[in-house]
Amino acid sequence: MRFIFAGIAFLVSLACFGLGAWQIVQAQSSDHVTVAGSSTSGAPLIVVPSETLVDNAGSQAISIQGDGPIVAVVGRQGDIAGWIGDTAHDRAEIDDASGTLVFEAAEGAESTAPNPLGNDLWYEEYTGEGALEFETALPPGFALLVASTGDEAAPSQLSVSWPLDGRAPWSGPLLVLGIVFLLIALGLLLWALLSIRRSSRARRSGVDEGPIQLRPSTAPAPTDAPSDAPDAQLDPRDAPPQPDTQDAAATGTVPTVMVGQAHDDRRGADTPTDDRAWVDASADAADAHADAERAWDAPETRVNDTAPSPAALAESPSVTDDDRPADAVNPWAPTPTPTPEAPPLATHGVPPSVPPPAEATGAPEQPAPDEPAPASADPTAAAGPEVPEAPAEPTRASATVPTAASVDRPAPAYGIRTDEHASTGSTDGAPESDADDRDGDGDGDEPGGPTLPAPPATPAASQEDTSKWKRPRGRDRSKAPKRSFRLAAVLLVGGLGLTGCSAEMWPEALGGAEENPTATPTSTIDEALLQEGAALPAVNEEQLNRILEDARALADTADAALDPAGLDARFGGAALASREASYAALSADGSLPAMTPFPAGAVVYAVPQATNEWPRTVFAVVEMGEAGGEGAAPAALMLVQESARSPYRVEVLTQLAANVELPEAAPMAIGAPGIADIDSSLAVASGDLASQYGDIVLHGAESPYAAAFAIESDTFLPQVDQSYRDSKLAEIDLAASRLEFANRPAAHEPLGVGTLDGGAIVAITIEEIETFSARTQLATLSVTGRAAALAGTGESPYGFESIYSDQLLFYVPSAEAGGQVQFLGYSAVMTSARTLDESEVTYDS
C-alpha cells in the first residue's frame, strides 16, 4: 500500500510541476497589453485621465493617429482640467467588459481652444503630423491632453500599451506543492523499502531461532572400537525409524548429530557407524549457508565452558543420561554447574555426542609468549590418535546451524578468537590443538556442516574510517549521520527559495505582486501628498528653470532693443513698469546708467505655492551670474500665474540686502501656503504692510508702527528718510520753489508665500511721489537726468512730478511667534515723470 501511496504522491507532484511550468510559459508568451479606441464626436480636445494611464503598472506607450498636426501634452490632472475649463472635450476611459477605450463626451460652452503648446503647466510636450508615437512613465495624478490645433477636431485614433511583467501568480504555490508531494513520495518509498527489508530479515531470523528437531538414536552408547574400523556410508532415507526422545533416554541411548562424512571420520574407530541419528530439518542447505555467512558478522563468540568434553563421556561407559550434562541429551538445555570431575572445557560448538579424535594430527604451532594460547576442545587431544583425512566430497547436512543470537550456546567460530574462554583443563602446559580442526587443515570447522571457504581478506578499517558510517550506540545516537533528513531539508529550502525569489510567482493574497498594481509616484513626497489629499506645489524645479530661462531670454532681447514689446509675456506689475520706464529713459537719454540685467545664475532658494487654484505664486532667489558682475547681490523674484492658460510672469524683481538671512521654508517638492491662506495669522497683515512702512518712511522712529519693524537693520530707509529729504531740499531755491514728499501703496496686490515657522515672505510695492513746484509766477523750474528724460523736457514754469516705484521684500513673522518685521531687499526705480499743470500749482501770496 505504501508503494501505491508513493506512486500517487509522485504523480501529484508531477502534475503540480507541470501546471506551474505551464503557467510560467503562458505568462511569458505575451510582453504587453494594449487598449485602443476611436472618437467620433469631433471635440477639439481629448483627455486621457490618470485612472486610465495607471490601469496597468509600467511605462505607457502612446499611439495617436489622425489627420493633420497632432499635439500631446502631459500635466497634472487638475492642471489639465483647469486649462480645459469650459471647452468641449472627450474623456478616454477603459471599458472593463470589452477591454477597449471608450470616449465619453463632455459638453462645454466653448467649441474651440487655444493651442496647448508652450503652457507652463505641462511637464512634457510631443508633436507630430498624421501619427504620433511616444513612451512615457506617468505616476498617479498625471493626465494626457491630446489636441490638433485647438480649432480643429482632435485626432480620432488612440491606443495605450503597457509592458507585462510575466506574472504567474499560482506557479509559486504549485511548484512548492510539487516539491512537498515529491518529498512525501520519496519518504513513502523509503518507508516501504525499509519495511520489506525488516520483514525479510525477520523471516530469516525465525528459522534460526527455532530449535532443531532431532531423531533420537536407538543404538547403544558408543563403545571402544578399533580406530581403523571403516565408516559405513548410510543414506538418511534408509535409516530405521527411531524411537522418541523419551524412550531413548530410558534405554540409555544418546542422540547424535550427523553433519557429514568429515564428521564421521573424526568420531573415532570405536564408534559404530550404523547407528547414527540423522538430523531431520525443514530448512535446506542454502539457508544453512546463509546462516553461516551471518555468523561471520557475530561480534563475539560465547563459549560454553561448563560442559564436560565428549571424550570424558566416551571414556565413561557407565555414565547414564542422568549423569550426562543437559546438553548431551538436549544441546539447548541449561548448562549444569561444572564439577571437579568434569572441568569446563571449550567445545567451540562441537556437539557433545561426538567424541574428539584420539590423538592430534601433529604438534600445534607454539603461540607467541605474548599471545594467548588457542582454546582446546579436549585436554587429551594432544595424545589422541591421528585423525584420518576427510573425503573430498563431504555429505551436506540439511540441518540449520543455530546462531549465537538465538540460544546461549557457541556460535560458529569461523576464525574468531575466543582467548577469554581458553580451556583450563590441560595441566601439563603443552599447547592445545584446535579441537575444531576436524578436516586436518589446521582451521576450526563448523560442527554442523562442511568446511566453508574463508572470507576474503580485507584491510582493517581504522576507527576514524569506521566512525564515518557506523551508527553510534546508546547516548551517542545523536551523533549518527542523518544524510536523508539533511537532503530533504536542502530540497525543501532550495525549492522554496527558487519559487519565492519573484513576487510575480505568487498571488497577491500570499504576499505576491498586485494583480492590478498602480503606478509609483515620482517621489515619496508626491505619494504622501496624494494619499493625504494635499495640494501639490505649483511648479517643480524643471518647470521653474524653464520659466526663468524664457523670462531671461525675453528680458535680454528687450534690454538690447530697449523695446518692451513682447515683454508682457513674462513680466507684469512693478517689474514690467520698471523695465518699460527704463527703456523710455534710456531711449531719451543714452547717457543714463544702464538698467540692472535679469539674473542669469542658478536658483538657490525657491518656495512654490501649494494650491490647485489660481492665481499661483512662486518665490525664488536667483544668482546674478555673469550679468551682475562679481559680488553682485542675488535677485529675489515673485512670479504669478493668474489663470491656467496664462504664463507665469515676474511681478516683483528685487535684490537682496547685504547680510540678509532668509527664513526656513518648505522644500520645493512640498510647497507652501499662499499669502491669502495665512494672512490672518501674521503679525502684520499683508494689506497693511505697505501703508505702515510708508508711514515709517515719512516719520521714521516717531511713527507709531516703527516698533513692529526692525528699522535698525533696514538698508532702504536711509535712502528715503528725512536725511535724504533734507539733502534734496538743500539743492533747490526754497524762495522760488518747493519740494514735497509723499508715498502711497501701489495698485499691485501684496504677494508672498508661507514659511515653516508660520510666517511669510511678503513683497509689496509703494510709490514715492516727489512734487517740485514753483512758488511764484516768475520762477522757471528745471530737472535733469531720468526725470527730464521721462518728462520729455527739463524746464517748466509750473514744476515736475516724479514717481518712484519701490519694490520691497519683507519677512513677516506669525502673530503667535511674535517678533519684528525683517527687511530683506528692495528695488527703487523712477517709473514716471511729468510736468505740472497750472491748476496744480499754488503760488505764494
Residue with cell 496664462: 646
Segment 690-702 mean pLDDT: 96
Q: Is the pLDDT of residue 458 over 60?
A: no
CA–CA gap between residue 177 and residue 303 (Å, rounded): 58
More confident residue, 527 or 272: 527
Task: For residue 483, name the pLDDT band (cuts at 50, 70, 90).
Answer: low
CA–CA gap between residue 752 and residue 620 (Å, rounded): 11
Task: Locate the domains of the chain by residue range.
Answer: 1-30+165-209+481-520, 32-163, 213-302+348-452, 535-845
Greatest mean pLDDT among 24-28, 498-502, 689-693 lies in: 689-693
Segment 473-489 mean pLDDT: 51
SS3 for 71?
Answer: strand
Cell matching residue 533: 489629499
CA–CA gap between residue 597 and residue 649 (Å, rounded): 16
Specify the CATH architecture of the domain 32-163: Sandwich (2.60)
pTM to 2 decimals? 0.61
β-pairing, 45-48 vs 89-95, is parallel
**What Rg, from alpha-carbon coordinates, does the chain have?**
60
Residue with cell 583443563: 425
Task: For residue 56, name the pLDDT band (cuts at 50, 70, 90).
Answer: confident
Residue with cell 559404530: 272
Q: Is the pLDDT of residue 477 over 80?
A: no
Task: For residue 528, name the pLDDT band (cuts at 50, 70, 90).
Answer: low
Contact 757, 817 (CB under 8 A): yes
Q: Which of 285, 486, 298, 508 is nearest to 409 (CA)?
A: 298
For 364-409, write each residue's pLDDT tens digit.
Answer: 444 444 444 444 434 333 344 444 444 444 444 343 434 433 334 4
Q: Which of 279, 281, 280, 276 is nearest to 217 (CA)?
A: 276
Angle at which helices 171-209 and 285-296 cross, to 10°: 110
Look at 87-91, 136-140, 580-584 and tell me which has the smallest mean pLDDT: 136-140
Identity at 719, one-letter amino acid code:
Q
Question: Virtual CA dihedral for 52, 55, 58, 63, nearest 10 degrees?
Answer: -40
Q: Which of 41, 140, 44, 23 is nearest to 87 (CA)?
A: 44
Look at 269-273, 597-601, 821-825 and tell me which has the smallest mean pLDDT: 269-273
Three-class SS of 576-600: HHHHHHHHHHHHHCCCCCCCCCCCC
CA–CA gap between residue 586 and residue 397 (Å, rounded): 140
Q: How many CB atoms lie within 10 A of CB 199?
A: 10
Burial category of 259 from C-beta neighbours within 10 Å (exposed 0-12, middle 13-18, buried 19 and up)? buried
For 710-763, write each residue's pLDDT tens digit.
Answer: 999 999 999 999 999 999 999 999 999 999 999 999 999 999 999 999 999 999
Q: Is the pLDDT of residue 518 over 90?
A: no
Q: Is the pLDDT of residue 177 over 60?
A: yes
Q: Which of 150, 162, 141 is nearest to 63 (CA)?
A: 162
Phi/psi at 136 (5° precision): -140, 165
Cell matching residue 842: 499754488
SS3 for 640?
Answer: strand
Please list the residues that pair with 60 across neighbouring strands: 136
Cell matching residue 354: 561426538
For 137-165, write each residue's pLDDT tens digit.
Answer: 998 999 999 999 989 999 999 999 998 76
Task: For residue 3, name the pLDDT band (cuts at 50, 70, 90).
Answer: confident
Average model confidence (pLDDT) across the chain: 75
pLDDT at residue 142 in the model: 93
Polymer length in residues for the chain: 845
For 215-225, write each residue's pLDDT tens digit.
Answer: 555 545 444 44
Q: Which of 198, 209, 199 is nearest to 403 (CA)?
A: 209
Contact 423, 235 (CB under 8 A): no
pLDDT at residue 535 in the model: 87
**Cα distance between the two ends of the chain:** 135
